[in-house]
Amino acid sequence: MSNKTLRNQFTVVKVGGSLDGMPRSLLEDIRRLRMSEVPVIVVHGGGNAITAEMNKRGLDVEKVGGLRVTSRESIPVIREVMCNIGERITRRIGEEGMPAVHINGHRRVLKVEPIEGLGLVGRVTEVSLPRILSPAGEGKVVVVTPLGWRETSHYNVNADDAAAAIAKEIQNRVHNEKRVPQSVPLFYLTDSDGIRGVDGTKINTATMEDIRRLIAQGIITGGMIPKAEAAIEAAGRGATVRILDGNAPMSLLHAVFRGEGGTAIRRED
């Protein structure tokens, strides 16, 4: 896809929660996207840091289907850890000479509904898009901390689900309403180069049904399950979804401009 076609094309990128999740090669990719006038929205994770802090404070760590069970005692810890990560990533981007803004999802940006059986864990139902798209449209890299709100409570939100929700909302309210022909690009940056099949080889392109089958067969497991499920949901709404290696040089650039790398997930025709 040409640079001209992608100009002003909001692009959602989900990265890991540690500073290792923003290697210099990725920062350089983001810089080049900005030079091509491609607005970038970064959604970060932080699962390992949360687990370490909860262990340090003697709080129980439990996961169901790759999602963290969250109690009222643990939500302040999760909020503290995640907000700190968001601030550090924003600062890291700024140190590279790029303007960046940090947005906390629990400040009435990501509204959620509770997921039964997981405590204070929510699934995003509404996104306050102007809070995200306004600075992105001004050329700032937007860093979103995936926390949610509902009434007077704050909720833990899986970062993969948050990234998918933002991409879906952009697709629905910007592209579909304005009849923009391109799909919203959504990239999940991981430590692997994509999804593996039954025989262990990388799958270049998978349908939504292919992914469901791999989950049912136990090939996709653990923390990859919510990532794959979020990718399916976003692809079903029309987003262009790709899971790729975030540590490989120029992986994001090649995915954006050439449609190459990792595993592309598409909806069935």
Q: What is the pLDDT of residue 139?
A: 93
Q: Which among 85, 96, 8 is positioned nearest to 48, based on CA atoms? A: 85
Query: Is residue 182 assigned to a domain?
Result: yes
Q: Which among 242, 211, 233 is positioned nearest to 158, based on CA atoms? A: 233
Query: Is residue 1 assigned to a domain?
Result: no
Paired tokens of 112: 């959620």
Helix (H, G, I), strand (E, B) or coil at 63: strand
Q: What is the pLDDT of residue 188?
A: 95
d(CA 194, CA 262): 4
Q: What is the pLDDT of residue 2?
A: 46
pLDDT tens digits for the chain (269 residues)? Answer: 445 455 678 999 999 866 566 888 999 999 999 999 999 999 999 999 999 999 999 999 999 888 899 999 999 999 999 999 999 999 999 999 999 999 999 999 999 999 999 999 999 999 999 999 999 999 999 999 999 999 989 999 999 999 999 999 998 876 556 655 578 899 999 888 899 999 999 999 999 999 999 999 999 988 788 889 999 999 988 889 999 998 889 999 999 999 999 999 998 76
Q: How many domains does the chain have?
A: 1
Q: What is the CA radius of gyration of the chain?
A: 17
Domain of residue 14 covers 10-266
Give the contacts of 115 (CB within 8 A, at least 6 positions apart).
67, 121, 122, 123
Query: Is residue 4 assigned to a domain?
Result: no
Query: Is residue 2 assigned to a domain?
Result: no
Query: Is residue 60 assigned to a domain?
Result: yes
Query: Is residue 5 assigned to a domain?
Result: no
Contact 161, 218 (CB under 8 A): no
CATH of the domain at 218: 3.40.1160.10
**Residue appearing with tokens 């940056």:** 189
Query: Is residue 123 assigned to a domain?
Result: yes
Query: Is residue 211 assigned to a domain?
Result: yes
